[in-house]
Amino acid sequence: MNTTKNAFLESLLKEGEQYAGLLLGKNGAPDQHIILLPGESQETNWDDAKKFAADAGGELPTRREQALLFANLPEEFTPNWYWSGEQRSAGSAWGQHFGNGDQFWFYTYDKCRARAVRRSVAI
């Protein structure tokens, strides 16, 4: 790894965090660096998953962020379903399987795993 990249990552990451990559902004939104936070919640409903992520200092990843995580950090996940932060309807939310990359919706009372991310605006 070159020294410029090392310096960038050292300035961006806190202990235990993993850099997932750059997510391009859509519709005028800024590009963002996506950082995977340490820790995981297992077998939790969507509301508790959101609380877990907030308590970890982040949020549940969006579906686009989950696709980036699947592409760049698959080894950080068990091959199972993880909640996204995106609702499908009032009683359902999206999830991603980190074994095959599928995305599908679940009822918010269903049980999935959860990981948290934080975002840093790219300048």
pLDDT band with cut points at 50, 70 and 90 for residue 5 = confident
Q: What is the pLDDT of residue 1?
A: 54
Q: What is the pLDDT of residue 95?
A: 98
Give the whole-angstrom CA distance, residue 21 versus residue 65.
9
Q: What is the pLDDT of residue 22?
A: 95
Q: What is the pLDDT of residue 3?
A: 81
Checking if the pLDDT of 97 tops 90, the result is yes
pTM for this entry:
0.93
Q: What is the pLDDT of residue 99?
A: 97
CATH number of 15-121: 3.10.100.10
Are 98 and 1 in contact by the 8 Å Cβ rule? The answer is: no
Are 41 and 48 in contact by the 8 Å Cβ rule? The answer is: yes
Ordered strands of the 18-23 beta sheet: 18-23, 32-36, 117-121
Residues composing the chain: 123
